[in-house]
Chain A
Amino acid sequence: MRKISWFAGVAFIVVLVGLIYLINSRQAPSKSEYKVGVFQVVRHPVLDEMAASFQRGLTSRYPEQVKFDLRISDGDAAKTEQIAQSFASGNFDLVFVIGTNQAQSLVKKTTTVPIVLGGATDPLAAGLVDSWERPGKNVTGTSDLSPVGAQLDSLKEILPDANRVGIIYNPSEDNSKAILAHFGRACADKNLEPVSVPVSGANELRPTLIAVVGKIDVLYAPTDATVQAAFPSLIKTANEVNLPVFNCDEGTVQKGAIFSIGFNYGDLGTTSADMAAAILDGKEKPSDMPIRLVGKSTLYFNVEQIKRFGLTVPERWQKDGKGITR
């Protein structure tokens, strides 16, 4: 029988630990520069844009003085823990966090490193802050809570007879849960009937849409990563079954929503960078900085899609909105 030895395994562990010490000792941070972490839940064009404009915002303020460390957890829980640990223990001056669970995990590891949230939908419900106005801990940032009221007002302008408004979302996404509650309340205010249309993944979009034909008059696509990532295929099916769709962000109206009102995620990143700079300069403390919503939201409408459904562009839209022809 072959001799049993744990030499290889033990040697492996020793070498790993040695390398970790070696690498960390070589990265002595210089005092004159800021070390800023960026902790992102998954790669996604919209989130990437937010992270990039955050970095641009800080770089333009502190040219060559700020070093970024971008880490993406791919939504994996074990990886999220480990990345949160490395941010909490790595002498970071500030961490910009995109993702609710990621922020929750990091908050448990540090009460001192300032954390700036990028587009958290409801940081209060997530237990990240004590209140929207006075966060109270080492956490502040921006929220991407959609202007649902404004979206529904515009819906009434273009489709005055629409009553049953479907909202398509993935129930395993946190943000969508928060939006769903807001959407329900806003619909009640405006005498509309909300109909929830859950999908468990991008592959379910088509069968789900086909199943709700005749049950809804119009479909709302909220800030849901699954829905937004599959938006082009959503529109393809919706067009086939003659279902108008309205959306919540800036870019998607070209892809076939009849209209869309929302933030530019780049603006959220820039606003977050402003807040981060105030913290890095020592001017403000996260505990006293209110969560900011980006006030500016623009109405975009797709002239061709509107024609396709036999609708007319409301007069106000010509003035306040931006028409897009593909």
Chain B
Amino acid sequence: MNVATLQLLYTVETTLTLSLVTIGVYVSFRTLRFPDLTGEGSFSLSAMVAGGVLVASGSAWAATLAGVATGAAAGAVTAILANVVRLPTLLASILTMIMCVSLGLLIAGQPSLTLPDSWVLATVLPDMNAILATGIVGSTLVLAVILFGLMALMYTGVGYVLRARGENPDLVNELKYSLLAWDIVGLALANGVIGLAAVLFSQRAGYCSINMGRGMAINALAAIMLGETLFPSRTLLPALLACVAGTLILQLVRLLALSLGLPDGSLDLVTSVIVIVFVYVAKERGHIGQNVLEKIRMHAA
């Protein structure tokens, strides 16, 4: 396989996993409208707890459950801090985030753990002989299940209250729904998904570290907004798919910047510049391309 194809496949695999973080952050920021940076810490903590369980028990499934539960618990803590202690939401989430880092160190007793060769996706798809194939197929399945589950949930009573929490919290209050309870449900859901991403990511990477979540929620936010800019959507499913597309674009841009072989240290700068230039061209000059497309279509017709 040629280098570019292989690199693209790797990038797709990472994107599928990191999309889960983007979707988790989307649920808190957009659905609940709760500015939540818990993910930076819950990602690390989930990875550490899942890693600890994996090392101790050898069961990738137990580790996955532990990771998801840890993320959900972190989300619940943020909701409690915001509603019971009445901290500003962002502060509540930042406090949870730094507590997560401390807890991760205390629980694991060390800053990073080496994970045994045990991968939850490989237990689901035991017959695949290529690691990359397992990663891509497995992550696609996980992402599909999460997307389907979220869609299903959002059209149930639970989903309606969660969405109302974001759209009109006063209404939720007047209808005698507890904001605390629903924030707990929403943030536990969001951070549970982030915890799942952390488990998959760390098992694939072969280690977990207390710094693993650094930048994850911020990058997810960037992916959400990039997705919203380039893939405007009015309904939920396209909006969630736009999250995936936004994550993909950020990863592809990073890969492009890497392949350019520029001096080290310029990677982040180049990544940002590429995004800025492309979004400008797409938004401001996009009609040129679209007009060409229209003409081709008219000719064809």
Residues of A at the B interface (CB closer than 8 Å) are 4-9, 11-13, 15-17, 19-21, 23-25, 27, 40, 43, 69-72, 74-86, 88-91, 100-101, 104-105, 107-109, 125-127, 171-174, 177
Contacts and interface: CB of A to CB of B under 8 A. Distances in A.
Interface of B is mostly: helix
B258 A24 contact: no
B6 A89 contact: yes
B230 A104 contact: no
Contact of B219 (A6, A16, A17, A78): A78
A105 B206 contact: yes
Contacts, number: 164
A107 B206 contact: yes
A6 B105 contact: no
A278 to B, nearest CB: 26
A11 to B, nearest CB: 6
B216 A177 contact: no
A173 B116 CA distance: 20
Contacts of A23: 4, 256, 259-260
Contacts of A109: 10
B251 interface: yes
Contacts of A127: 114, 116, 206
28 contacts: A4-B233, A5-B290, A6-B231, A7-B293, A9-B245, A12-B230, A12-B278, A23-B259, A24-B2, A40-B264, A43-B265, A70-B264, A72-B265, A78-B14, A78-B18, A81-B205, A82-B255, A83-B258, A84-B205, A86-B7, A100-B112, A101-B207, A104-B114, A107-B206, A126-B114, A126-B207, A172-B111, A177-B111
A43 B213 CA distance: 20
A79 B254 contact: yes
B214 A89 contact: no
Contacts of A78: 14, 18, 215-216, 219
Contact of B14 (A43, A69, A81, A89): A81
Contacts of A173: 111
B282 A108 contact: no
Contacts of A126: 114, 207
Given A71-B258, A90-B7, A174-B112, 8 more contacts: A8-B283, A12-B249, A17-B8, A69-B261, A86-B10, A88-B10, A104-B207, A171-B105
A23 B2 CA distance: 12
A76 B268 CA distance: 11
Mostly, the A contact residues are helix
B101 A9 contact: no
Name the residue among A17, A43, A91 with the largest chain B CB count within 10 angstroms: A17
Contact of B205 (A20, A27, A89, A104): A104
Nearest to A90: B3
A80 B264 CA distance: 14
Contact of A11 (B105, B234, B245, B289): B289
Contacts of A76: 214-215
B251 A105 contact: no
B4 A77 contact: no
A106 to B, nearest CB: 9
B214 A77 contact: yes
Nearest to B242: A9
B197 to A, nearest CB: 11
Given A11-B289, A43-B265, A77-B212, A24 B3 contact: yes
Contacts of B232: 4-6
Given A24-B7, A77-B213, A78-B219, A17 B252 contact: yes
A13 B4 contact: no
Interface in B131-175: none
